[in-house]
Amino acid sequence: MLKTSLNIQDKSTWLTKKQPCIIAGPCSVESPEQVLTTAKLIAESGKISMIRGGIWKPRTRPNSFEGVGSVGLKWLKDAGNEVGLPVTTEVANAQHVEECLKNGIDVLWIGARTTVNPFSVQEIAEVLRGVDIPVLIKNPINPDLNLWIGAIERINAVGITKIGAIHRGFSSFDKSSYRNAPMWEIPIELKMLCPNLPIICDPSHISGSTDLIQQVAQKALDMEMDGLMIESHVNPLQAKSDAEQQLTPQALLELLNNLAVREKQSQNKEWINNIEQLRSVIDELDEELINKFASRMAIIEKIGEYKRDNNLTILQLDRWEKILNNRIFLARKVGLSHDFIRKMLELIHQESILIQNKVMNNGENKSEV
């Protein structure tokens, strides 16, 4: 990993006056009333530092709501003025930045689908040359720390010094309870490489559903992240984007009241914090391992069906030998012991044979497997 030296203004001067820094608001700005009512209800708590709202929405498939466009910038800014809070929105190209600057948007954020593209990030950086505005940079959708740091460096290189990162999780092919896998080890490494860079966690886009947001938000604070970006909508069921993950203002306030904000002062507490961070990473890695095992066993079952339908034996020794040799070679390359990997493979192999036996014994009746 390349070392990086960023020229960053102290976060306490522009971002973390309130600890933790809570950025909340709807996924998308939909109407003047929707953004104003949401802003008023969430700001009542006194715990919110900034109002968010998407104006141009990067949607996975066409023909879904793609945001209200520039007209919504005034609605967002007016809502912020009404509740006395700064506002932030996502920019994906030079024109978005220009429109935001014209409308007095206080903070810009670069979305995950833009961070992946150095051309787009550079285009945004060029229009920001000589402008004094804070920019938050979401992680790229793929788990590539260098790409994330590269985007931060591009924005910093044109003179933007109020910079923060947003951890919103990573796209993964594996089945998981998350919409975007948190992979906590990546923001932790970012923190180690850039200790002055504030990191905000976005538990809404990590979770994808309201039931996981509290635990992800708590984990983020336990990992010493500087704040949270949480989607809240006055009427989530009617939301035009991300309806499943938006909290009502009341649910948001409940979540914030339930958060334990830990101190970071004494040596001992620092030690506890470090241990908690590492344990959280272990929890994540174990969940990933379990999901990988589940994917592996599902494929084993399919192979079992194929063997059954083609009248083949379950145990095929030459294949097993190849697996052993190849996995032991791979394990050695990353410093894992021969004994450990052999024992683990044997366990996996036993379970695989058991699964295929079941498939064979149940004949055509797959539902009983």
In the complex, the residues that contact ligand PEP under the rule CB under 6 A are 27, 54, 58, 111-113, 138, 168, 205
Q: Which does 138 bind (CB under 5 to 8 A by kind): Mn ion, ligand PEP, none?
A: ligand PEP
Smaller CB separation from ligand PEP, 58 or 118: 58
Using the contact rule CB under 5 A, the part of the chain among 146-154, 167-175, 239-247, 276-284 near Mn ion is 239-247
Show the CA angle centred on residue 255, arms to residues 170 and 105, nearest 5°.
65
Which of 27, 29, 92, 100 contacts Mn ion by CB under 5 A?
Answer: 27
- For residues 254 and 123, give the distance between their C-alpha atoms in angstroms, rounded to a whole number: 40
Minimum Å distance from CB 247 to Mn ion?
A: 12
CB of 299 to ligand PEP, least distance (A): 30
- Residue 248 DSSP symbol: P
Partner touching 134 among ligand PEP, Mn ion, none, CB below 5 to 8 Å by kind: none
277's CB contacts (< 8 A; 6+ apart) are 184, 188, 222, 223, 224
Stretch that binds Mn ion, among 21-29, 94-102, 163-171, 215-223 (CB under 5 A): 21-29
User: What are the two backbone dihedrals, phi and then psi, of residue 206, each rounded to the nearest 5 degrees?
Assistant: -70, -45
Residue 107 Cβ vs ligand PEP, minimum distance, rounded to whole Å = 13
Answer with the entry of Mn ion, ligand PEP, none that 111 interacts with (C-beta below 5 to 8 A by kind): ligand PEP
Which residue shows structure tokens 């992800």?
Answer: 216
Q: Residue 138 or residue 308: which is nearer to ligand PEP going by CB?
A: 138
**Rounded Cα gap, residues 321 and 341, in angstroms:** 14
Q: How far is the CB of 238 from ligand PEP (least distance, A)?
A: 17
Least Å distance, CB 162 to ligand PEP, is: 19
**203, interface contact from ligand PEP, Mn ion, none, CB < 5-8 Å by kind:** none
Q: Quick one: 134 or 304, whose CB is closer to ligand PEP?
A: 134
Closest residue by beta carbon to ligand PEP? 111
Q: What is the distance between the alpha carbons of residues 149 and 197, in angstroms, rounded to a whole number?
A: 11
**Shortest distance, CB of residue 205 to Mn ion, whole angstroms?**
6
Contact indicator for 220, 188 with CB cutoff of 8 Å: no
Q: What residue type is 286 in one-letter code? A: D
Structure letter (DSSP) for residue 180: S
DSSP string, 67-121: ---THHHHHHHHHHHHHT--EEEEE-SHHHHHHHHHTT--EEEE-HHHHT-HHHH
Q: Which is nearer to ligand PEP, 14 or 170 (CB)?
A: 170
Please, what is the minimum distance in Å from the beta carbon of residue 26 to Mn ion?
8
> Which residues does residue 87 pair with via DSSP β-bridges, in sequence order?
51
Instruction: State which residue, 14 or 56, has the beta carbon closest to Mn ion.
Output: 56
Angstrom CA distances, 148 to 156, 189, 323, stand at 13, 12, 35
> Which residue's CB is nearer to ligand PEP, number 154 or number 205?
205
Contacts of 214 (CB under 8 A, 6+ apart): 255, 258, 259
Q: What is the dihedral of CA 237, 239, 244, 245, to 10 degrees?
A: -120
Partner from ligand PEP, Mn ion, none binding residue 69, C-beta < 5-8 Å depending on class: none
Q: Cβ closer to ligand PEP: 125 or 230?
A: 230
Of 209 and 357, the one with the shorter C-beta distance to Mn ion is: 209
- Count of residues engaged in binding Mn ion, rule: CB under 5 A: 2
Give the nearer residue to Mn ion in terms of CB position, either 14 or 170. Answer: 170
Q: Is the dihedral of CA 359, 361, 364, 367 positive or negative?
A: negative
For 18, other C-beta atoms within 10 Å of its C-beta total 13
Task: Tell whether residue 242 is a contact of Mn ion (CB under 5 A).
Answer: yes
230 binds Mn ion (CB under 5 A): no
In the complex, minimum distance from the CB of residue 200 to Mn ion, in angstroms, rounded to a whole number: 15
Which sign, positive or negative, has the C-alpha torsion 24, 28, 34, 36? positive
Residue ranges in contact with Mn ion by CB under 5 A: 27, 242
